[in-house]
Amino acid sequence: MAPDLRLVTMTPASGSFTNDVRILECRTRAGSHLGLVVKFMVDQPEYASRCATAQFRALALARAHGVPAPEPIFLDETGKVLGVPGVVTRFVEGRQVANPQDPMEWAEAFAQMLLRVHDIRPSDRDRTDLFDTAQQVRFSSQEEPHLLSGGHPLSANILQAVRELQPAVAEVKPVLVHMDYWQGNVLWHEGRISAVVDWYFGAYGDPAIDVAYFRMNLYLRGIKEAADVFLRSYEEGLGKVVQNLGFRELCAAAQPLPHPVLWIPASREMGDPGATDERATTDYYEFVSEALRHAYAGR
pLDDT at res. 199: 96
Last residue of a domain, one of 49, 64, 90: 90
- Residues 235, 236, 239, 240, Cα dihedral to 10°: 40
Together in a domain, 238 and 161? yes
Last residue of a domain, one of 62, 90, 118: 90
Domain annotation covers residue 271: yes
SS3 of residue 12 by DSSP: strand
Domain annotation covers residue 97: no
Together in a domain, 245 and 289? yes
Together in a domain, 80 and 109? no
Answer yes or no: are the C-beta atoms of 34 and 53 closer than 8 Å. no
pLDDT at res. 141: 46
Distance CA 171, CA 232 (A): 22
Where residue 81 sits, what CATH number does that domain have? 3.30.200.20
Domain annotation covers residue 69: yes
pLDDT at res. 281: 86
Together in a domain, 18 and 115? no
Together in a domain, 164 and 77? no
Together in a domain, 48 and 159? no
Answer yes or no: are the C-beta atoms of 175 and 203 closer than 8 Å. no
Domain annotation covers residue 142: yes
Together in a domain, 189 and 257? yes
Distance CA 53, CA 200 (A): 8
Closest CA to 176 of 230, 96, 113: 113
Domain annotation covers residue 1: no
Number of domains in the chain: 2
CA distances from 224 to 122, 137, 201, 216 (A): 32, 27, 25, 8
- Residues 77, 3, 33, 191, Cα dihedral to 10°: 0
Together in a domain, 125 and 84? no
Domain limits at 238?
Answer: 103-296
Together in a domain, 114 and 78? no
Domain annotation covers residue 275: yes
Where residue 183 sits, what CATH number does that domain have? 3.90.1200.10
Together in a domain, 183 and 287? yes
Together in a domain, 129 and 277? yes
Q: Buried b vs exposed e over 280-295: b needs ≥16 C-beta within 10 Å?
A: beebbeebbebbbebb
Domain annotation covers residue 241: yes
pLDDT at res. 136: 61
299 residues of the chain, pLDDT tens digit each: 777 899 999 999 877 777 899 999 999 988 999 999 999 999 888 899 999 999 999 999 999 999 999 999 999 999 999 999 999 999 999 999 988 999 999 999 999 999 999 999 999 999 999 999 987 644 544 556 666 666 789 988 998 998 899 899 999 999 999 999 999 999 999 999 999 999 999 999 999 999 999 999 999 888 888 999 999 999 999 999 999 999 999 999 999 988 888 888 888 888 887 778 888 889 999 999 999 999 999 88
Domain annotation covers residue 83: yes
Together in a domain, 258 and 111? yes
Last residue of a domain, one of 36, 67, 90: 90
Question: Across the strands, what pairs with 99?
Answer: none
